[in-house]
Structure 1
Amino acid sequence: MLDEDDRKLLRYWQAEPTLSQGELAERAGMTTGRATRRITRMQELGVVKGVGVVIDWGALGYAVEVSLRVTLDKTQGNAFDVFLKEAREVPEVIEVQTFLGRVDVRLSIIARDMAHYQQIYRSRILTLPHISEIEALMHVARIKTSEGLPL
């Protein structure tokens, strides 16, 4: 689906998302028009979903991150759908992942401090439907984070 020129554009764009299409084209060794057509095609194909901003939550005063492993009561036919719909509504939930296995869902939660986390946990998390078990993992350090691909 992608050729080497597409990969080249993506490599440079991943490394520096603020580059203009002209700058990308120059680095990739092609004209701006050609680069723009390729980028537009990759966006239309869904290869590039968007360009965003990465926020440092710690710089905004969120010092606590907790990962919750949630097992749902699957005796209810719609447990997943209802739980996921309501979990998405909790503003401090920054990530939701589903799994096959003993753990059904993982929620990543940010909070200003432990008191704030406890308030979120008691008032928002424990009120989510169909929870049968929760295991909390306190985030200590993020060693590697990457959404980029080795192109």
Structure 2
Amino acid sequence: MLDDLDRRILRLWQTEPEMTPADLAAALDLPAARVARRIERLRETGVLRSVSTVIDWAALGYGVEVSLRIQLDKTAPGAFEAFMAAARKVPEVTQMQTFLGRVDLRLTVIARDMTHWQGIYRDRILVLPHIAEIEALMHVATVKTDQTLPI
């Protein structure tokens, strides 16, 4: 699926994501049009899904991050769909993941401080439909966020 040039482009872009396609071409000593065509092919095949900006929520005043492990009442028809639709409407939910096993979903929620968190939890989270059990894990430190892979 990937050839050596694709791997070189991806390795370089993982380590320096701010590079433009022209910067990549210069660093790889290749014509810009060739690199642009490769990037387009990587997008078309789904290898590159998007180029994104990572926001440091703490720098914007959101100093509290909580991971919620949620079990749903799966006896209710449409419980997953109803829960996920409602949870998507909570602006402080930054991530939602589904799982197989004891935990059905995990939400990442951000808040400015503990008072703000308590309001979000009481007024927006606990009212979400079909929750059977919920466990809140307060984020203490990020140990690793590197999403680069050896290509």
Please give the range of the TM-score, normalised by the shorter of the 2 chains. Answer: over 0.9
Alignment of 1:42-81 (within 5 A): 42-81=42-81
How many corresponding residue pairs?
A: 151
Runs of 4+ displaced beyond 6 Å: none
Q: Provide structure 2 residue ranges, at least 5 long, that are not aligned to the other structure.
A: none
Amino acid at match of 2:80: F
1:18 aligned partner: 18
Q: Secondary structure of the residue that 1:81 maps to in structure 2? A: helix
| Partner residue, 1:147 | 147
Normalized against structure 1, the TM-score is what?
A: 0.96
1:10 to partner: Cα distance: 0.8
Secondary structure in structure 1 of the residue aligned to 2:90: coil
* C-alpha contact (below 8 Å) 1:5/1:28 kept by paired residues: no
Give how far 1:150 is off.
Answer: 1.8
Alpha-carbon distance between aligned partners in 1 of 2:98 and 2:23, rounded to the nearest angstrom: 39
- CA root-mean-square deviation: 0.9
Question: How far, CA to CA, are the matches of 1:42 and 1:66 in structure 2?
Answer: 35
Structure-2-length-normalised TM-score: 0.96
CA distance in 1, matches of 2:72, 2:46: 32
Aligned to 2:100: 100
Q: CA deviation at 1:148?
A: 2.3
5+ long unaligned stretches in structure 1: none
* CA drift at 1:139: 0.4
AA in 2 matched with 1:114: M
State percent identity of aligned pairs: 59
